[in-house]
Chain A
Amino acid sequence: MVQKLDRLKESPSQTAGPYVHIGTNPNSVEIKGVWNEDLGSRMLNTQTLGERIVLEGRVLDGSGAPLKDVLVEIWQADAQGLYPSPQEKRGKADPHFAGWGRQPVDPVTGIYHFETVKPGRVPYRDGRMMAPHVTFWLVSRGINLGLHTRLYFADEEEANAQCPVLARIEHTRRIPTLIASRSEANGLATYTFDIRLQGEGETVFFDI
């Protein structure tokens, strides 16, 4: 026998199941009055700095069908590229920006919808700048361990070309699975980002 290491094992994951919204977004499933507002439902207020944008899309299974029960969380830097986190040592993030959002998808269409701001660039480990991006985390019935991916912006071609993370994707034809397309209506940009769990065009997921 050898001495025991003072390490613990991470608790193993289990699926969020079909009723995850009872715990995370109870108001969205008609459990009213426990708390007033579902956490993560608003990322902005009137004073938030930066370009307001919408992120929209669906999460598709291996048959191409949109998931109706998936929960989507996002985490991103503010417009200046600072995270609202105590771990952020480079400066103070916009106090009017949450950085984190969480939404169920529409139970009929399967579309998620976030109102946020375009994030600024943040550095990679070696100081090179990553392209602006939004971290996505997906949980649902049938997903045994939450899936991490990133949304990048189609109109940031130059930054995307220099991004050290995108550069690590050996199969370059998979890079477009991380890039949201831009459309504009009434001066408001919407970025559309469909996530494919499996099959043709499977999204790149990260082991972080």
Chain B
Amino acid sequence: MSDDGSYFQRDRAWHPPAFTPDYKTSILRSPRFPLLSLDNTISELTGPVFGDALLGPLDNDLIRNYAKDGDPIGQRIVVYGRVLDENARAVPGALLEFWQANAGGRYRHRKETYLAAIDPNFGGCGRAITDSEGRYEFRTIKPGAYPWPNGVNDWRPAHIHFSVFGHAFAQRLITQMYFEGDPMIWQCPIVRTIPDKAAIEQLVAALDRNATLPMDALAYKFDIVLRGRRATMFENRPEGN
């Protein structure tokens, strides 16, 4: 396998389109011209890398990394999984950043207007870097569902936002994790920007009873797939770099 291949073309029917009128904010923020297809150049095949030296000991512990005088309120959970590429190979050294509302569904943000209370012991952000097998984990409290201004009465299902850096800027991805068994998933206009049910299910983390910490925390498994690279086994294409 060569390290010089381009990334597979993104399947844009699997991703949400830019213009999704039921999610109103997308209406004025969606380009109308077709995207210009660009074969990956070195500008897309490279990307920033982050080492473990970046991380503090509590970066992947949202229960403790903002706590002032006790633990945050809510269901304690562990979220774990792997970052893989489309070739089903582990992506080591991937930086994951995550953020979420507290157990009541309230974000710690000046623009947030939901009535649910701020939790003085919960900040709502964390980060991790995958190990040599692409694994990550973090500890947090389960976020609550929350209402948001779109329709007059739209609610987001419980979710955790993820930002992911792989090895190349072409792999850059932001997505959201949902929770197995949540009926709110299927009524959400943001979830429904994704056209394919199987694609939505790829974002639903599975409850893993075997990974629970007894008398402590439930566990959810959430794998993330980044774009994969073409192998250049038989191809002798001239490389510009």
Binding site for B on A (CB under 8 A): 6-24, 26, 29-31, 33-35, 39, 61-63, 65, 67, 69, 73, 75-77, 83-90, 98-100, 122-128, 130, 133, 135, 137, 139-148, 150, 165, 168-169, 174, 197-199, 202-208
One of B72-80, B130-138, B167-175, B213-221 at the interface = B167-175
Complex Cα–Cα for A87 and B30 (A)? 32
Decide: B16 and A144 in contact? CB cutoff 8 A: yes
Q: Which residue of B lies closest to A85 (CB)?
A: B46
Min CB distance B82 to A, Å, is 11
Let me know if B180 is at the binding interface, CB within 8 A: no
Decide: A126 and B32 in contact? CB cutoff 8 A: no
Complex Cα–Cα for A85 and B45 (A)? 9
Q: Which residue of B lies closest to A88 (CB)?
A: B46
Decide: A83 and B28 in contact? CB cutoff 8 A: no
Decide: B43 and A7 in contact? CB cutoff 8 A: no
Total cross-chain contacts (CB, 8 A): 277
Complex Cα–Cα for A185 and B168 (A)? 35
Complex Cα–Cα for A65 and B9 (A)? 32
Decide: B31 and A198 in contact? CB cutoff 8 A: yes
- Where chain A touches its partner, the secondary structure class is loop
Decide: A13 and B16 in contact? CB cutoff 8 A: yes
Given A75-B48, A123-B41, 12 other A-B contacts at CB below 8 A? Answer: A7-B87, A8-B88, A22-B99, A22-B108, A34-B65, A62-B27, A75-B46, A135-B44, A142-B26, A142-B30, A143-B29, A144-B30
Decide: A123 and B240 in contact? CB cutoff 8 A: yes
Q: Which residue of A lies closest to B54 (CB)?
A: A39
24 residue pairs from A and B, CB less than 8 Å apart: A8-B88, A9-B11, A9-B86, A12-B16, A12-B200, A14-B174, A14-B193, A19-B109, A19-B111, A20-B99, A29-B109, A39-B54, A61-B28, A62-B27, A62-B29, A76-B43, A83-B43, A122-B241, A123-B240, A125-B238, A125-B239, A146-B172, A168-B36, A198-B30
Interface size on B, residues (CB 8 A): 93
- Where chain B touches its partner, the secondary structure class is loop
Let me know if B203 is at the binding interface, CB within 8 A: yes
Closest A-B pairs by Cβ, 5 of them: A23-B99, A142-B25, A85-B46, A100-B48, A142-B29
**Interface readout for B9-53 with A: 1 if CB under 8 Å, 0 if not?**
111101111101001011111111101111111111111111000
Min CB distance B88 to A, Å, is 5
Complex Cα–Cα for A168 and B14 (A)? 26
Min CB distance A177 to B, Å, is 10
Decide: B190 and A15 in contact? CB cutoff 8 A: yes
